């Protein structure tokens, strides 16, 4: 990287004696504060001790010490997703840095703005396999939007300014800054961070709108009789939910929201179809399969949405794609109308001239599908069903909570049965499917939204991957309500082995898990356990009345599966519907 000298020399090439000398670490902290970093999550170690020393006595710098680096990066992720701001995480070199990799990949797959700060060994021993050395910039190159290796502390103001800009503009994503120990201790003169617009060669954060393409889309909508919108996480990341609502109301097009798009369009709206794809609802999947115009807005045609590509939207005469990242256009699905740009800007322009589609009969058909094939499960008075638990949580919160999830069956039940009223209300690992994400991401979301109710929904498998972060909830009185859906099995793996591997179950038994209530109490957190509906109501309402963190374990049957389901290698209209007996018919090409 080209070195930048920040006016530290006078005209004779000497340090200006009138300016105060500070360390690179002090400069780093000042730059973070100037960038508006409200809270940094991290874990110290030898190569970052200069950073941590600079924090001493600094009242403007808030840092939360997690119990594992993975917890720190997931917390920063949850903070970023729930606030729209850049999350910041700090870790030391070697194993500290590599422990961040899973969380960095999680953020990269879901386009989450993070700035990751790692320490490294001194520049004099870089490349010598020194103690706790890792080439973290090379390791993370495939899973970061950009990264830096800092060799001169004078470059820090520019690098920090660029990193925040890169992370939170265009298609958002994680940016890593690796700082050797001697650089963090280098004496430099205190200078102001750069401000104003950043122009980076080759980087175009907001592509110029091609209005003729948007006009083509508007004309196609006016001719369409069976249009459908697939709205993804990009709608939320670009703060375009209001524009999408206006667009739908003007064009009269039904909307399916992907897992990451949930909350980006109001679930109470009459044209909301639900979630499409692998565990999508019947109405959404059939709408896609029978549409004559498919419009993807901020969704990348992920394989969990499209399923078998040869057979995706076979009736579509046109497929349109609105996305800020040109690399996504045509990557998975052939695109006929490409509208590249910030979704808020694209829809803002489209709404000026939007025309209604010819969708009257189509909407009637879709409403009939919603009525005929709703989400359903076999309720029980003797057992506590996981779907019932999610419905109860929704009813008691009126859809106003921030829900974070781990990954597995509970994640899909939360997506299906909790109805989200607002964007940034569902925090979940979509593209990477990272177990252990649920609890630490809830901590970050609660830190970023201290006045909101934050609920972390976890399975008994994922809960054990970052359970140690309950200590942070207790120490800082972070009032997250922790839900554990305990079926004593790796449920999603079991479901796949049951259906696709002829019930050959292999290494999925979690019966030896800890007593989650006692574990919570060991960390100083209230804990409850419910086996029945009555206990579920009682303990959940008690948890909501407690001002601090609480864990509620709901013991559910291990044989409950997530339906509907589309198997890998099949098309969206080949759905296992489940139903009252968790079996039910398989529908082929139903219309």
164 is catalytic: no
Q: Average pLDDT in the 2-19 region?
A: 44
Question: Are 20-189 and 386-562 equal in CATH topology?
Answer: yes
Q: Average pLDDT in the 400-406 region?
A: 98
Q: What's the pLDDT at 503?
A: 94
Catalytic residue among 1, 131, 141, 521: 131
Catalytic residue among 26, 27, 51, 69: 69
Q: Return all residues near 512 (Cβ < 8 A) that are at least 6 apart.
A: none
In the structure, what pLDDT confidence band is assigned to residue 191 with cuts at 50, 70 and 90? Answer: confident
Q: What's the pLDDT at 319?
A: 98
Residue 106, SS3? Answer: helix
**Omega of the bond leading into 564 within 30 degrees of 0 (cis):** yes
Q: With pLDDT > 90 as the criterion, what percentage of the chain qualifies?
A: 90
Helices 360-372 + 282-290 axis angle, to 10: 150
Q: What's the pLDDT at 197?
A: 75
Q: Average pLDDT in the 230-253 region?
A: 98
- 203 or 171, greater pLDDT: 171
Q: What's the pLDDT at 18?
A: 58
Q: What's the pLDDT at 198?
A: 83
- pLDDT of 527 higher than 90: yes
In the structure, what pLDDT confidence band is assigned to residue 194 with cuts at 50, 70 and 90? Answer: confident
210 is catalytic: no
Concatenated DSSP letters of 547-564 = SS-EEEEEE--TT----S
Q: What's the pLDDT at 306?
A: 98
Q: What's the pLDDT at 276?
A: 98
In the structure, what pLDDT confidence band is assigned to residue 199 with cuts at 50, 70 and 90? Answer: confident
Can you give the three-state secondary structure of 242-298, one letter per residue?
HHHHHHHHHHCCCEEECCCCCCCCCCCCCCEEECCCCCCCHHHHHHHHHCCEEEEEC
- pLDDT of 13 higher than 60: no
C-alpha distances in Å from residue 565, one per residue of 281, 305, 364, 384: 9, 12, 25, 22
Q: Average pLDDT in the 266-272 region?
A: 96
In the structure, what pLDDT confidence band is assigned to residue 579 with cuts at 50, 70 and 90? Answer: low
Q: What's the pLDDT at 202?
A: 85
Q: Are 161 and 31 in contact (CB under 8 A)?
A: yes
Q: What's the pLDDT at 212?
A: 97
Catalytic residue among 27, 286, 435, 492: 492
- Cα torsion through 456, 42, 38, 206, rounded to 10: -90
Q: Average pLDDT in the 234-251 region?
A: 98
Q: What's the pLDDT at 578?
A: 80
Q: Average pLDDT in the 315-328 region?
A: 97
- 143 or 579, greater pLDDT: 143
Catalytic residue among 132, 367, 488, 496: 132
Q: Average pLDDT in the 140-160 region?
A: 97
How many Cα neighbours within 13 Å face the side chain of 563?
Answer: 24
Q: Quick one: which of 442, 520, 489 has its CA closest to 529?
A: 520
Q: Domain locations in the chain?
A: 20-189, 211-372, 386-562
- pLDDT of 62 higher than 70: yes
- pLDDT of 563 higher than 60: yes
554 is catalytic: no
- 536 or 60, greater pLDDT: 536
- pLDDT of 11 higher than 60: no
Q: Are 539 and 472 in contact (CB under 8 A)?
A: no
Residue 542, SS3? Answer: helix
- pLDDT of 96 higher than 50: yes
Domain 386-562 belongs to what architecture?
A: 3-Layer(aba) Sandwich (3.40)
Q: What's the pLDDT at 20?
A: 83
Q: What is the pLDDT of residues 32-48, one digit of tens each?
A: 999 999 999 999 999 99
- pLDDT of 380 higher than 70: yes
376 is catalytic: no
Average pLDDT, the chain: 94
69 is catalytic: yes
Tell how strand 272-274 and strand 114-120 pair up. Answer: unpaired
In the structure, what pLDDT confidence band is assigned to residue 195 with cuts at 50, 70 and 90? Answer: confident
Rounded CA gap, 539 and 553, in Å?
Answer: 9
Residue 191, SS3? Answer: coil
Pick the CATH number of 20-189 from 3.30.1300.30, 3.30.470.20, 3.40.50.970, 3.90.550.10: 3.40.50.970
- In the CATH scheme, what is the code of domain 211-372? 3.40.50.1220
Catalytic residue among 85, 181, 344, 494: 181
- pLDDT of 8 higher than 80: no
In the structure, what pLDDT confidence band is assigned to residue 192 with cuts at 50, 70 and 90? Answer: confident
């Amino acid at each position: 990287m080209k070195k930048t000298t920040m006016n530290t020399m006078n005209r004779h090439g000497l340090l200006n004696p009138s300016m105060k000398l500070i360390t690179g670490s002090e400069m780093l902290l000042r730059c973070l504060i100037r960038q508006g970093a409200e809270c940094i999550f991290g874990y110290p170690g030898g190569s970052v001790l200069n950073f941590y020393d600079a924090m001493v006595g600094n009242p403007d710098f808030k840092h939360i010490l997690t119990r594992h680096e993975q917890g720190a990066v997931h917390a920063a992720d949850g903070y970023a997703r729930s606030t729209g701001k850049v999350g910041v995480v700090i870790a030391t070199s070697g194993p500290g840095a590599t422990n961040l990799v899973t969380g960095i990949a999680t953020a990269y797959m879901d386009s989450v703005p993070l700035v990751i700060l790692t320490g490294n060994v001194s520049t004099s021993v870089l490349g010598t396999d020194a103690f706790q050395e890792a080439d973290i910039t090379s390791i993370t190159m495939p899973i970061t939007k950009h990264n830096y290796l800092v060799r001169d502390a004078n470059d820090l103001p520019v690098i920090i300014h660029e990193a925040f800009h890169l992370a939170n503009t265009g298609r958002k994503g994680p940016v890593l800054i690796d700082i050797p120990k001697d650089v963090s201790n280098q004496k430099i003169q205190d200078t102001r961070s750069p401000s104003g617009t950043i122009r980076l060669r080759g980087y175009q954060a907001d592509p110029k709108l091609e209005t003729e393409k948007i006009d083509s889309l508007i004309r196609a909508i006016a001719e369409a009789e069976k249009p459908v919108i697939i709205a993804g996480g990009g709608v939320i990341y670009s703060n375009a939910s209001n524009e999408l609502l206006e667009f739908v109301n003007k064009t009269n097009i039904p909307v399916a929201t992907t897992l990451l798009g949930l909350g980006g369009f109001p679930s109470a709206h009459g044209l909301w179809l639900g979630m499409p794809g692998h565990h999508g609802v019947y109405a959404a999947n059939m709408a896609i399969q029978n549409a004559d115009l498919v419009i993807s807005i901020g969704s990348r045609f992920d394989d969990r949405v499209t399923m078998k590509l040869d057979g995706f939207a076979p009736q579509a005469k046109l497929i349109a794609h609105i996305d800020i990242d040109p690399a996504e256009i045509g990557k998975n699905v052939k695109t006929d109308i490409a509208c590249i740009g910030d979704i808020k800007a694209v829809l803002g322009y489209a709404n000026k001239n939007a025309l209604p589609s010819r969708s009257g009969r189509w909407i009637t058909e879709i409403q009939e599908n919603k009525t005929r094939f709703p989400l359903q499960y076999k309720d029980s008075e003797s057992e506590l069903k996981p779907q019932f638990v999610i419905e109860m949580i929704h009813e008691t919160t009126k859809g106003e909570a921030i829900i974070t999830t781990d990954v597995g069956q509970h994640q899909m039940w939360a997506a299906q049965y909790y109805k989200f009223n607002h964007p940034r209300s569902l925090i979940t690992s979509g593209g990477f499917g990272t177990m252990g994400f649920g609890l630490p991401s809830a901590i970050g979301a609660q830190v970023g939204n201290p006045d909101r109710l934050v609920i972390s929904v976890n399975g008994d498998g994922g809960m054990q991957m970052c359970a140690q972060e309950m200590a942070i909830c207790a120490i800082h009185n972070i009032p997250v309500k922790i839900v554990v859906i305990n079926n004593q099995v790796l449920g999603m793996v079991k479901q796949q082995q049951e259906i696709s591997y002829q019930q050959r179950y292999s290494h999925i038994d979690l019966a030896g898990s800890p007593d989650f209530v006692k574990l919570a109490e060991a960390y100083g957190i209230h804990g409850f356990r419910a086996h029945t509906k009555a206990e579920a109501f009682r303990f959940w309402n008690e948890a909501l009345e407690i001002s601090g963190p609480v864990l509620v374990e709901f013991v559910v049957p291990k044989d409950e599966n997530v339906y509907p389901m589309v198997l890998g290698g099949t098309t969206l209209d080949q759905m296992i519907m489940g139903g009252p007996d968790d079996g039910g018919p398989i529908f082929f090409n139903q219309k």
